[in-house]
């Protein structure tokens, strides 16, 4: 019995999270990232920030495998895109 190739994609982003597509130049992959947005507290000089929750490639969450520098870059770029 021959099985069909399954093309997996990222699950839908929850409505209260932010979806951001990051093009990883070194690998050629696009990471579909789910991030949580925090407004910060302007009165206490706490800036808004994004926190990466998941980063999907072909339906697989690779966020735990990403280096911290890349996570910071994704979070900052996603925040700038808001």
Give the residue ranges of DSSP H helices in 1-82.
Answer: 68-81
Segments making up each domain of the chain, as ranges: 18-81
CA atoms of 40 and 59, how far apart (whole Å)? 31
Q: What would the pLDDT profile of 5-64 be if each residue is shown by its tens digit?
A: 445 688 888 989 999 999 988 888 899 999 999 988 888 888 999 999 999 998 899 999
E strand or H helix at 7:
none
Q: How many Å apart are CA 73 and CA 9, to the nearest integer?
A: 23
Sign of CA dihedral 29, 21, 53, 77: positive
Q: Backbone phi, then psi, for 78, in 5-degree steps?
A: -65, -40
């Amino acid at each position: 019995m021959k099985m069909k190739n399954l093309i997996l994609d990222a699950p839908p982003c929850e409505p209260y999270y932010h979806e951001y597509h990051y093009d990883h130049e070194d690998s050629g992959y696009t990471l579909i990232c789910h991030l949580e947005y925090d407004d910060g507290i302007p009165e206490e000089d706490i800036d808004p920030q994004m926190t990466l929750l998941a980063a999907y490639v072909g339906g697989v969450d690779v966020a735990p495998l990403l280096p911290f520098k890349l996570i910071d870059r994704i979070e900052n770029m996603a925040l700038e895109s808001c």
